[in-house]
Chains A and B, each alone.
Chain A
Protein backbone atom coordinates (compact mmCIF):
# COMPACT_ATOMS: atom_id res chain seq x y z
CA UNK A 1 0.00 0.00 0.00
CA UNK A 2 2.59 2.53 1.09
CA UNK A 3 4.82 1.61 -1.80
CA UNK A 4 2.06 2.05 -4.29
CA UNK A 5 1.15 5.45 -2.88
CA UNK A 6 4.60 6.78 -2.07
CA UNK A 7 6.20 5.19 -5.09
CA UNK A 8 8.96 2.64 -5.51
CA UNK A 9 11.35 4.46 -3.25
CA UNK A 10 12.65 4.03 0.23
CA UNK A 11 10.25 6.71 1.31
CA UNK A 12 7.63 3.98 1.23
CA UNK A 13 9.66 2.00 3.71
CA UNK A 14 9.92 5.02 5.96
CA UNK A 15 6.20 5.61 5.57
CA UNK A 16 5.46 2.04 6.58
CA UNK A 17 7.59 2.30 9.67
CA UNK A 18 6.14 5.68 10.54
CA UNK A 19 2.63 4.36 10.11
CA UNK A 20 3.22 1.36 12.34
CA UNK A 21 4.71 3.50 15.06
CA UNK A 22 1.83 5.94 14.84
CA UNK A 23 -0.64 3.10 15.02
CA UNK A 24 0.99 1.75 18.14
CA UNK A 25 1.23 5.14 19.77
CA UNK A 26 -2.35 6.01 18.90
CA UNK A 27 -3.75 2.63 19.77
CA UNK A 28 -4.97 3.71 23.22
CA UNK A 29 -6.89 6.56 21.60
CA UNK A 30 -8.64 4.40 19.03
CA UNK A 31 -12.30 4.99 19.80
CA UNK A 32 -13.89 2.44 17.50
CA UNK A 33 -15.91 4.98 15.55
CA UNK A 34 -14.53 3.42 12.40
CA UNK A 35 -13.27 -0.08 11.94
CA UNK A 36 -9.75 -0.78 13.03
CA UNK A 37 -8.75 -1.53 9.45
CA UNK A 38 -10.08 1.77 8.19
CA UNK A 39 -8.36 3.59 11.01
CA UNK A 40 -5.07 1.85 10.32
CA UNK A 41 -5.38 2.47 6.59
CA UNK A 42 -6.00 6.13 7.26
CA UNK A 43 -2.80 6.38 9.26
CA UNK A 44 -0.84 4.46 6.66
CA UNK A 45 -2.24 6.51 3.79
CA UNK A 46 -1.48 9.76 5.53
CA UNK A 47 2.02 8.56 6.33
CA UNK A 48 2.60 7.64 2.70
CA UNK A 49 1.22 10.96 1.47
CA UNK A 50 3.37 12.78 4.01
CA UNK A 51 6.46 11.02 2.71
CA UNK A 52 5.40 11.86 -0.80
CA UNK A 53 5.13 15.54 0.07
CA UNK A 54 8.43 15.48 1.89
CA UNK A 55 10.04 13.98 -1.16
CA UNK A 56 8.66 16.70 -3.36
CA UNK A 57 10.41 19.23 -1.19
CA UNK A 58 13.71 17.40 -1.52
CA UNK A 59 16.01 17.30 -4.53
CA UNK A 60 15.13 14.48 -6.89
CA UNK A 61 18.48 12.83 -6.28
CA UNK A 62 17.28 11.73 -2.86
CA UNK A 63 14.59 9.62 -4.41
CA UNK A 64 16.30 6.34 -5.18
CA UNK A 65 14.54 3.33 -6.52
CA UNK A 66 14.94 0.10 -4.66
CA UNK A 67 15.59 -1.47 -8.04
CA UNK A 68 18.98 0.21 -7.97
CA UNK A 69 20.06 -1.62 -4.89
CA UNK A 70 21.85 -4.91 -4.83
CA UNK A 71 19.62 -6.54 -2.30
CA UNK A 72 16.45 -5.76 -4.20
CA UNK A 73 14.70 -4.29 -1.21
CA UNK A 74 11.28 -5.79 -1.81
CA UNK A 75 10.28 -9.23 -2.80
CA UNK A 76 6.96 -10.25 -4.28
CA UNK A 77 4.50 -12.28 -2.32
CA UNK A 78 3.55 -14.24 -5.40
CA UNK A 79 6.79 -15.23 -7.05
CA UNK A 80 5.09 -16.82 -10.00
CA UNK A 81 3.18 -13.72 -10.88
CA UNK A 82 6.25 -11.62 -10.29
CA UNK A 83 8.24 -13.84 -12.61
CA UNK A 84 5.64 -13.50 -15.29
CA UNK A 85 5.16 -9.81 -15.07
CA UNK A 86 8.41 -9.00 -13.48
CA UNK A 87 10.34 -7.64 -16.36
CA UNK A 88 11.97 -4.47 -15.29
CA UNK A 89 10.31 -2.57 -18.10
CA UNK A 90 6.84 -3.59 -17.04
CA UNK A 91 7.45 -2.79 -13.44
CA UNK A 92 8.92 0.55 -14.27
CA UNK A 93 6.00 1.28 -16.56
CA UNK A 94 3.59 0.55 -13.76
CA UNK A 95 5.57 2.60 -11.30
CA UNK A 96 5.89 5.48 -13.70
CA UNK A 97 2.21 5.43 -14.53
CA UNK A 98 1.31 5.53 -10.88
CA UNK A 99 3.87 8.22 -10.20
CA UNK A 100 2.35 10.34 -12.96
CA UNK A 101 -1.05 10.30 -11.25
CA UNK A 102 -2.03 13.20 -9.06
CA UNK A 103 -1.57 12.03 -5.51
CA UNK A 104 -5.25 12.34 -4.68
CA UNK A 105 -6.14 10.06 -7.56
CA UNK A 106 -3.34 7.69 -6.72
CA UNK A 107 -4.37 7.28 -3.11
CA UNK A 108 -7.96 6.59 -4.08
CA UNK A 109 -7.07 4.09 -6.79
CA UNK A 110 -4.56 2.27 -4.61
CA UNK A 111 -6.94 2.05 -1.69
CA UNK A 112 -9.54 0.59 -4.02
CA UNK A 113 -7.51 -1.66 -6.30
CA UNK A 114 -4.75 -2.70 -3.93
CA UNK A 115 -6.38 -2.27 -0.55
CA UNK A 116 -9.76 -3.48 -1.80
CA UNK A 117 -11.65 -0.98 0.31
CA UNK A 118 -15.11 0.17 -0.64
CA UNK A 119 -15.96 3.75 -1.48
CA UNK A 120 -17.33 4.58 1.93
CA UNK A 121 -14.19 3.36 3.65
CA UNK A 122 -12.01 5.28 1.24
CA UNK A 123 -14.08 8.39 1.81
CA UNK A 124 -13.59 7.96 5.53
CA UNK A 125 -9.86 7.46 5.15
CA UNK A 126 -9.32 10.38 2.80
CA UNK A 127 -11.89 12.51 4.59
CA UNK A 128 -13.71 13.41 1.40
CA UNK A 129 -17.27 12.71 0.20
CA UNK A 130 -18.06 9.41 -1.46
CA UNK A 131 -18.78 11.21 -4.72
CA UNK A 132 -15.30 12.62 -4.72
CA UNK A 133 -13.88 9.17 -4.14
CA UNK A 134 -15.89 7.86 -7.02
CA UNK A 135 -14.65 10.49 -9.43
CA UNK A 136 -11.05 10.25 -8.24
CA UNK A 137 -11.01 6.52 -8.75
CA UNK A 138 -12.59 6.79 -12.16
CA UNK A 139 -10.27 9.51 -13.40
CA UNK A 140 -7.26 7.80 -11.91
CA UNK A 141 -8.13 4.58 -13.64
CA UNK A 142 -8.69 6.40 -16.89
CA UNK A 143 -5.27 8.04 -16.66
CA UNK A 144 -3.63 4.73 -15.78
CA UNK A 145 -5.36 2.92 -18.62
CA UNK A 146 -4.27 5.58 -21.07
CA UNK A 147 -0.73 5.47 -19.77
CA UNK A 148 -0.31 1.72 -19.53
CA UNK A 149 -2.17 0.89 -22.76
CA UNK A 150 -2.92 -2.56 -21.49
CA UNK A 151 -5.21 -3.14 -24.43
CA UNK A 152 -2.08 -3.26 -26.52
CA UNK A 153 -0.46 -5.81 -24.21
CA UNK A 154 -3.18 -8.34 -23.50
CA UNK A 155 -0.61 -11.03 -22.77
CA UNK A 156 0.46 -9.14 -19.70
CA UNK A 157 -2.99 -9.14 -18.21
CA UNK A 158 -3.63 -12.70 -19.28
CA UNK A 159 -0.51 -13.94 -17.59
CA UNK A 160 -1.30 -12.13 -14.41
CA UNK A 161 -4.88 -13.27 -14.23
CA UNK A 162 -4.13 -16.85 -15.19
CA UNK A 163 -1.03 -17.46 -13.16
CA UNK A 164 -1.51 -15.46 -10.05
CA UNK A 165 -2.74 -17.34 -7.07
CA UNK A 166 -3.26 -14.18 -5.16
CA UNK A 167 -6.80 -13.01 -5.13
CA UNK A 168 -7.39 -9.31 -5.10
CA UNK A 169 -9.48 -8.86 -2.05
CA UNK A 170 -12.88 -10.41 -2.56
CA UNK A 171 -12.37 -10.26 -6.27
CA UNK A 172 -10.28 -12.59 -8.34
CA UNK A 173 -9.25 -9.85 -10.71
CA UNK A 174 -11.45 -11.03 -13.52
CA UNK A 175 -14.24 -9.12 -15.11
CA UNK A 176 -16.72 -11.17 -17.08
CA UNK A 177 -18.41 -9.25 -19.79
CA UNK A 178 -22.17 -9.83 -19.83
CA UNK A 179 -23.09 -11.98 -22.79
CA UNK A 180 -26.73 -11.13 -23.13
CA UNK A 181 -26.42 -7.60 -24.34
CA UNK A 182 -29.73 -6.29 -25.41
Chain B
Protein backbone atom coordinates (compact mmCIF):
# COMPACT_ATOMS: atom_id res chain seq x y z
CA UNK B 1 0.00 0.00 0.00
CA UNK B 2 1.43 3.36 -0.95
CA UNK B 3 1.84 6.28 1.35
CA UNK B 4 -0.94 8.03 -0.51
CA UNK B 5 -3.35 5.19 0.18
CA UNK B 6 -2.22 4.95 3.78
CA UNK B 7 -2.50 8.67 4.43
CA UNK B 8 -5.72 9.18 2.57
CA UNK B 9 -7.93 6.38 3.66
CA UNK B 10 -10.82 8.80 3.32
CA UNK B 11 -11.65 9.10 -0.39
CA UNK B 12 -12.44 12.72 0.24
CA UNK B 13 -8.88 13.30 1.38
CA UNK B 14 -7.54 11.64 -1.74
CA UNK B 15 -9.75 13.85 -3.83
CA UNK B 16 -8.58 16.93 -1.97
CA UNK B 17 -4.96 16.01 -2.46
CA UNK B 18 -5.34 15.29 -6.15
CA UNK B 19 -7.27 18.46 -6.76
CA UNK B 20 -4.84 20.61 -4.82
CA UNK B 21 -1.96 18.99 -6.65
CA UNK B 22 -3.52 19.81 -9.97
CA UNK B 23 -3.96 23.42 -8.96
CA UNK B 24 -0.45 23.65 -7.60
CA UNK B 25 -1.88 24.41 -4.21
CA UNK B 26 -0.45 21.34 -2.48
CA UNK B 27 2.36 21.50 0.02
CA UNK B 28 5.66 19.80 -0.85
CA UNK B 29 4.75 16.86 1.35
CA UNK B 30 1.41 16.51 -0.35
CA UNK B 31 3.02 16.76 -3.74
CA UNK B 32 5.44 14.00 -2.87
CA UNK B 33 2.56 11.92 -1.61
CA UNK B 34 0.66 12.31 -4.83
CA UNK B 35 3.60 11.75 -7.11
CA UNK B 36 4.42 8.44 -5.51
CA UNK B 37 0.98 7.06 -6.07
CA UNK B 38 -0.30 5.95 -9.49
CA UNK B 39 -3.84 6.07 -8.16
CA UNK B 40 -3.40 9.63 -7.10
CA UNK B 41 -1.96 10.53 -10.45
CA UNK B 42 -4.93 8.88 -12.12
CA UNK B 43 -7.20 11.07 -10.08
CA UNK B 44 -5.17 14.11 -11.00
CA UNK B 45 -5.34 13.18 -14.66
CA UNK B 46 -9.10 12.75 -14.40
CA UNK B 47 -9.48 16.16 -12.84
CA UNK B 48 -7.21 17.63 -15.48
CA UNK B 49 -9.50 16.25 -18.14
CA UNK B 50 -12.48 17.82 -16.46
CA UNK B 51 -10.68 21.12 -16.28
CA UNK B 52 -9.67 20.91 -19.90
CA UNK B 53 -13.13 20.19 -21.18
CA UNK B 54 -14.75 22.81 -18.99
CA UNK B 55 -12.27 25.48 -19.94
CA UNK B 56 -12.12 24.74 -23.64
CA UNK B 57 -15.85 24.57 -24.12
CA UNK B 58 -16.86 27.45 -21.95
CA UNK B 59 -19.48 29.26 -23.97
CA UNK B 60 -19.07 32.94 -24.47
CA UNK B 61 -21.58 35.50 -25.53
CA UNK B 62 -21.74 36.53 -29.14
CA UNK B 63 -20.27 39.81 -30.24
CA UNK B 64 -23.66 41.43 -30.55
CA UNK B 65 -24.61 40.37 -27.06
CA UNK B 66 -21.37 41.61 -25.64
CA UNK B 67 -21.85 44.91 -27.41
CA UNK B 68 -25.34 45.26 -26.06
CA UNK B 69 -24.19 44.50 -22.53
CA UNK B 70 -21.38 47.00 -22.78
CA UNK B 71 -23.58 49.66 -24.30
CA UNK B 72 -26.06 49.20 -21.48
CA UNK B 73 -23.28 49.56 -18.93
CA UNK B 74 -21.88 52.61 -20.66
CA UNK B 75 -25.35 54.08 -20.80
CA UNK B 76 -25.58 53.69 -17.04
CA UNK B 77 -22.27 55.48 -16.68
CA UNK B 78 -23.39 58.26 -18.99
CA UNK B 79 -26.53 58.79 -16.94
CA UNK B 80 -24.68 59.02 -13.68
CA UNK B 81 -24.12 62.49 -12.32
CA UNK B 82 -20.72 63.80 -11.39
CA UNK B 83 -21.52 63.26 -7.73
CA UNK B 84 -22.44 59.67 -8.40
CA UNK B 85 -19.28 59.13 -10.39
CA UNK B 86 -17.26 60.62 -7.56
CA UNK B 87 -18.87 58.18 -5.15
CA UNK B 88 -20.54 60.94 -3.17
CA UNK B 89 -24.04 59.89 -4.07
CA UNK B 90 -25.78 56.62 -4.68
CA UNK B 91 -26.83 56.15 -8.28
CA UNK B 92 -30.56 56.30 -8.69
CA UNK B 93 -32.47 53.14 -9.35
CA UNK B 94 -33.89 54.63 -12.50
CA UNK B 95 -30.54 54.10 -14.12
CA UNK B 96 -31.15 50.39 -14.23
CA UNK B 97 -34.35 50.86 -16.12
CA UNK B 98 -32.59 53.14 -18.52
CA UNK B 99 -29.87 50.58 -19.00
CA UNK B 100 -32.37 47.85 -19.59
CA UNK B 101 -34.04 50.01 -22.17
CA UNK B 102 -30.74 50.51 -23.92
CA UNK B 103 -30.31 46.81 -24.62
CA UNK B 104 -31.08 46.08 -28.23
CA UNK B 105 -29.94 42.55 -28.87
CA UNK B 106 -31.32 40.52 -31.77
CA UNK B 107 -33.37 37.98 -29.95
CA UNK B 108 -35.71 35.07 -30.34
CA UNK B 109 -39.42 35.65 -30.04
CA UNK B 110 -39.68 34.94 -26.35
CA UNK B 111 -36.72 37.08 -25.52
CA UNK B 112 -37.83 39.76 -27.94
CA UNK B 113 -41.12 39.99 -26.08
CA UNK B 114 -39.23 40.42 -22.86
CA UNK B 115 -37.08 43.03 -24.50
CA UNK B 116 -40.16 44.82 -25.72
CA UNK B 117 -41.45 44.95 -22.21
CA UNK B 118 -38.16 46.43 -21.14
CA UNK B 119 -38.34 49.01 -23.87
CA UNK B 120 -41.86 49.90 -22.93
CA UNK B 121 -40.88 50.28 -19.33
CA UNK B 122 -37.92 52.33 -20.48
CA UNK B 123 -40.12 54.64 -22.51
CA UNK B 124 -42.26 55.17 -19.45
CA UNK B 125 -39.30 55.88 -17.28
CA UNK B 126 -38.91 59.48 -18.38
CA UNK B 127 -42.37 60.71 -17.35
CA UNK B 128 -42.10 58.63 -14.19
CA UNK B 129 -38.77 60.24 -13.49
CA UNK B 130 -40.27 63.64 -14.07
CA UNK B 131 -43.14 62.82 -11.75
CA UNK B 132 -40.70 61.62 -9.13
CA UNK B 133 -38.75 64.85 -9.43
CA UNK B 134 -41.96 66.84 -9.11
CA UNK B 135 -42.92 64.82 -6.06
CA UNK B 136 -39.50 65.49 -4.56
CA UNK B 137 -39.93 69.21 -5.16
CA UNK B 138 -43.32 69.14 -3.48
CA UNK B 139 -41.80 67.34 -0.51
CA UNK B 140 -39.01 69.90 -0.29
CA UNK B 141 -41.54 72.68 -0.45
CA UNK B 142 -43.63 71.01 2.23
CA UNK B 143 -40.68 70.55 4.53
CA UNK B 144 -39.60 74.11 3.89
CA UNK B 145 -43.07 75.38 4.69
CA UNK B 146 -43.17 73.41 7.92
CA UNK B 147 -39.75 74.69 8.91
CA UNK B 148 -40.81 78.24 8.16
CA UNK B 149 -43.96 77.77 10.16
CA UNK B 150 -42.18 76.26 13.15
CA UNK B 151 -39.53 78.95 13.11
CA UNK B 152 -42.23 81.59 12.91
CA UNK B 153 -43.98 80.17 15.93
CA UNK B 154 -40.74 80.24 17.86
CA UNK B 155 -40.40 83.91 17.15
CA UNK B 156 -37.40 83.43 14.93
CA UNK B 157 -36.92 85.54 11.89
CA UNK B 158 -37.78 82.91 9.36
CA UNK B 159 -36.13 84.33 6.26
CA UNK B 160 -32.94 85.05 8.15
CA UNK B 161 -32.81 81.50 9.38
CA UNK B 162 -32.98 80.34 5.82
CA UNK B 163 -30.31 82.79 4.79
CA UNK B 164 -27.97 81.73 7.57
CA UNK B 165 -28.20 78.20 6.37
CA UNK B 166 -27.55 79.00 2.78
CA UNK B 167 -25.58 82.17 2.36
CA UNK B 168 -22.15 80.85 3.23
CA UNK B 169 -20.71 82.83 0.38
CA UNK B 170 -20.18 86.44 1.55
CA UNK B 171 -20.52 87.70 -1.99
CA UNK B 172 -24.10 86.57 -2.16
CA UNK B 173 -25.01 87.45 1.37
CA UNK B 174 -26.29 90.94 0.61
CA UNK B 175 -28.45 89.76 -2.22
CA UNK B 176 -29.64 86.85 -0.18
CA UNK B 177 -30.62 89.19 2.65
CA UNK B 178 -32.58 91.27 0.18
CA UNK B 179 -34.35 88.17 -0.96
CA UNK B 180 -35.03 87.20 2.62
CA UNK B 181 -36.44 90.63 3.29
CA UNK B 182 -38.77 90.31 0.38
CA UNK B 183 -39.73 86.83 1.50
CA UNK B 184 -40.53 88.27 4.90
CA UNK B 185 -42.88 90.75 3.30
CA UNK B 186 -44.48 87.98 1.35
CA UNK B 187 -44.77 85.90 4.50
CA UNK B 188 -46.66 88.69 6.20
CA UNK B 189 -49.18 88.58 3.41
CA UNK B 190 -49.97 84.96 4.12
CA UNK B 191 -51.79 83.59 7.12
CA UNK B 192 -49.73 84.57 10.10
CA UNK B 193 -49.09 81.85 12.62
CA UNK B 194 -50.52 79.21 10.38
CA UNK B 195 -48.28 76.65 8.79
CA UNK B 196 -48.87 77.06 5.10
CA UNK B 197 -49.33 73.95 3.04
CA UNK B 198 -48.87 75.21 -0.45
CA UNK B 199 -49.10 73.77 -3.88
CA UNK B 200 -47.54 76.93 -5.24
CA UNK B 201 -43.80 76.58 -4.77
CA UNK B 202 -42.94 80.16 -5.57
CA UNK B 203 -42.22 81.47 -2.07
CA UNK B 204 -39.92 78.59 -1.33
CA UNK B 205 -38.33 78.75 -4.72
CA UNK B 206 -37.79 82.49 -4.37
CA UNK B 207 -35.63 81.98 -1.33
CA UNK B 208 -31.96 81.31 -1.79
CA UNK B 209 -31.36 77.66 -1.22
CA UNK B 210 -35.02 76.96 -1.77
CA UNK B 211 -36.04 74.59 -4.52
CA UNK B 212 -32.89 74.89 -6.60
CA UNK B 213 -30.13 75.99 -4.27
CA UNK B 214 -27.36 75.42 -6.75
CA UNK B 215 -29.18 77.28 -9.49
CA UNK B 216 -30.31 80.36 -7.62
CA UNK B 217 -27.60 82.90 -7.85
CA UNK B 218 -27.47 86.38 -6.46
CA UNK B 219 -29.08 87.94 -9.49
CA UNK B 220 -31.97 85.56 -9.28
CA UNK B 221 -32.37 86.26 -5.60
CA UNK B 222 -32.45 89.99 -6.25
CA UNK B 223 -34.92 89.55 -9.06
CA UNK B 224 -37.07 87.40 -6.85
CA UNK B 225 -37.01 90.01 -4.13
CA UNK B 226 -38.11 92.62 -6.64
CA UNK B 227 -40.85 90.33 -7.80
CA UNK B 228 -42.10 89.65 -4.30
CA UNK B 229 -41.88 93.30 -3.36
CA UNK B 230 -43.99 94.11 -6.37
CA UNK B 231 -46.57 91.64 -5.13
CA UNK B 232 -46.93 93.49 -1.85
CA UNK B 233 -50.29 95.20 -1.02
CA UNK B 234 -50.65 98.54 -2.70
CA UNK B 235 -48.72 97.50 -5.71
CA UNK B 236 -50.16 98.24 -9.11
CA UNK B 237 -49.18 94.85 -10.39
CA UNK B 238 -51.80 92.14 -10.83
CA UNK B 239 -52.13 89.73 -7.93
CA UNK B 240 -50.12 86.54 -8.02
CA UNK B 241 -51.56 83.11 -8.51
CA UNK B 242 -53.70 82.06 -5.55
CA UNK B 243 -51.91 79.99 -2.94
CA UNK B 244 -54.16 77.06 -2.32
CA UNK B 245 -53.15 73.53 -1.49
CA UNK B 246 -54.84 71.95 -4.45
CA UNK B 247 -56.36 73.79 -7.30
CA UNK B 248 -59.75 72.43 -8.16
CA UNK B 249 -61.48 73.53 -11.29
CA UNK B 250 -65.09 72.60 -11.77
CA UNK B 251 -65.94 74.01 -15.16
CA UNK B 252 -64.49 75.66 -18.26
CA UNK B 253 -64.95 79.11 -16.76
CA UNK B 254 -62.77 78.16 -13.83
CA UNK B 255 -60.23 76.77 -16.22
CA UNK B 256 -60.25 79.97 -18.26
CA UNK B 257 -59.87 82.09 -15.16
CA UNK B 258 -57.04 79.94 -13.92
CA UNK B 259 -55.34 80.05 -17.30
CA UNK B 260 -55.61 83.81 -17.36
CA UNK B 261 -53.27 83.94 -14.38
CA UNK B 262 -50.46 83.06 -16.72
CA UNK B 263 -50.93 86.13 -18.83
CA UNK B 264 -50.50 89.02 -16.35
CA UNK B 265 -47.64 87.16 -14.78
CA UNK B 266 -45.83 87.32 -18.07
CA UNK B 267 -45.78 91.06 -17.92
CA UNK B 268 -43.86 90.93 -14.66
CA UNK B 269 -41.32 88.42 -15.72
CA UNK B 270 -37.99 89.73 -16.73
CA UNK B 271 -35.69 87.66 -18.90
CA UNK B 272 -33.27 87.15 -16.02
CA UNK B 273 -35.90 86.00 -13.60
CA UNK B 274 -36.93 82.38 -13.48
CA UNK B 275 -40.67 82.08 -13.83
CA UNK B 276 -41.07 80.32 -10.54
CA UNK B 277 -44.85 80.53 -10.58
CA UNK B 278 -45.07 77.91 -13.23
CA UNK B 279 -44.15 74.31 -13.30
CA UNK B 280 -40.86 73.85 -15.09
CA UNK B 281 -40.35 70.15 -14.85
CA UNK B 282 -42.80 68.53 -17.21
CA UNK B 283 -42.28 69.94 -20.66
CA UNK B 284 -43.26 66.91 -22.63
CA UNK B 285 -46.63 68.27 -23.74
CA UNK B 286 -45.46 71.71 -24.80
CA UNK B 287 -44.75 70.79 -28.36
CA UNK B 288 -47.77 68.55 -28.68
CA UNK B 289 -50.20 71.21 -27.54
CA UNK B 290 -48.29 74.33 -28.51
CA UNK B 291 -48.08 75.58 -24.97
CA UNK B 292 -46.15 78.71 -24.19
CA UNK B 293 -46.87 78.70 -20.48
CA UNK B 294 -47.71 76.02 -17.98
CA UNK B 295 -49.43 76.50 -14.66
CA UNK B 296 -49.47 74.34 -11.59
CA UNK B 297 -51.22 71.03 -12.10
CA UNK B 298 -54.80 71.11 -10.96
CA UNK B 299 -57.81 68.92 -10.48
CA UNK B 300 -60.28 69.47 -13.25
CA UNK B 301 -63.60 67.85 -12.43
CA UNK B 302 -61.79 65.56 -10.07
CA UNK B 303 -59.12 64.51 -12.53
CA UNK B 304 -55.54 65.61 -12.07
CA UNK B 305 -54.46 67.52 -15.13
CA UNK B 306 -51.71 69.74 -16.34
CA UNK B 307 -52.76 73.24 -17.28
CA UNK B 308 -51.08 75.24 -20.00
CA UNK B 309 -51.79 78.23 -22.14
CA UNK B 310 -51.36 78.56 -25.86
CA UNK B 311 -50.77 82.29 -26.03
CA UNK B 312 -50.75 82.37 -29.80
CA UNK B 313 -54.27 81.05 -30.08
CA UNK B 314 -55.36 82.28 -26.64
CA UNK B 315 -56.47 78.87 -25.50
CA UNK B 316 -56.17 77.32 -22.07
CA UNK B 317 -55.69 73.56 -22.03
CA UNK B 318 -56.29 71.06 -19.31
CA UNK B 319 -54.47 67.94 -20.40
CA UNK B 320 -53.45 64.53 -19.26
CA UNK B 321 -49.80 64.86 -18.37
CA UNK B 322 -49.05 61.28 -19.23
CA UNK B 323 -50.24 61.17 -22.82
CA UNK B 324 -50.89 64.88 -23.48
CA UNK B 325 -54.49 64.21 -24.40
CA UNK B 326 -56.68 67.29 -24.01
CA UNK B 327 -59.20 66.96 -21.21
CA UNK B 328 -60.67 70.42 -21.74
CA UNK B 329 -59.79 73.47 -23.75
CA UNK B 330 -61.25 76.87 -23.39
CA UNK B 331 -60.51 80.32 -24.78
CA UNK B 332 -58.74 82.83 -22.62
CA UNK B 333 -60.98 85.55 -21.20
CA UNK B 334 -61.19 88.54 -23.51
CA UNK B 335 -59.66 91.09 -21.13
CA UNK B 336 -56.73 88.77 -20.52
CA UNK B 337 -56.12 88.39 -24.21
CA UNK B 338 -56.11 92.12 -24.57
CA UNK B 339 -53.58 92.36 -21.82
CA UNK B 340 -51.57 89.71 -23.53
CA UNK B 341 -51.83 91.42 -26.88
CA UNK B 342 -50.41 94.62 -25.50
CA UNK B 343 -47.59 93.54 -23.29
CA UNK B 344 -45.27 96.19 -24.63
CA UNK B 345 -47.61 99.08 -23.92
CA UNK B 346 -46.16 99.40 -20.46
CA UNK B 347 -42.66 99.58 -21.83
CA UNK B 348 -41.17 103.03 -22.30
Q: For residue A165, which residue of chain B has the nearest CB?
A: B56
A164 at the interface (CB under 8 A from B): yes
**A98, A142, A157 interface centre (most CB from chain B within 10 Å):** A142
B-contacting residues, A28-86, CB 8 Å: 28-29, 64, 69-78, 81-82, 85-86
Whether B108 pairs with A137 at a CB distance below 8 angstroms is no
Whether A174 pairs with B52 at a CB distance below 8 angstroms is yes
Segment of B62-70, B155-163, B184-192, B240-248 in the binding face: B62-70
How many A residues touch B, CB cutoff 8 Å?
A: 71
B25 at the interface (CB under 8 A from A): yes
Whether A150 pairs with B22 at a CB distance below 8 angstroms is no
Q: Mark A171-182, 1 if CB is under 8 A from B, else 0.
A: 101110110011
Bound Cα distance A72, B107 (Å): 10
Assuming the contacts A20-B70, A24-B73, A69-B108, asked whether A181 and B38 have C-beta atoms less than 8 A apart, the reply is: yes
Whether B59 pairs with A74 at a CB distance below 8 angstroms is yes
A-contacting residues, B267-292, CB 8 Å: none
Whether B53 pairs with A85 at a CB distance below 8 angstroms is yes
Cross-interface CB contact of B15 among A20, A64, A116, A139, cutoff 8 Å = A139
Bound Cα distance A166, B73 (Å): 27
Residues of B within 8 A of A3 (CB): 58-61
Segment of B43-51, B131-139, B145-153, B294-302 in the binding face: B43-51
Bound Cα distance A18, B236 (Å): 60
Assuming the contacts A144-B50, A145-B47, A175-B45, asked whether A168 and B69 have C-beta atoms less than 8 A apart, the reply is: no
Whether B59 pairs with A76 at a CB distance below 8 angstroms is yes
B18 at the interface (CB under 8 A from A): yes
Q: Using a CB–CB distance below 8 Å, which chain A residues touch chain B?
A: 1, 3-4, 8, 10, 13, 16-17, 20-21, 23-25, 27-29, 64, 69-78, 81-82, 85-86, 90-91, 94, 98, 109-110, 112-114, 116, 118-119, 134-135, 137-139, 141-142, 144-145, 148, 150-151, 156-157, 160-161, 164, 166, 168-169, 171, 173-175, 177-178, 181-182
**Ordered nearest first, which 6 A-B pairs have the shortest CB separation?**
A28-B87, A175-B48, A138-B19, A168-B55, A173-B52, A20-B73
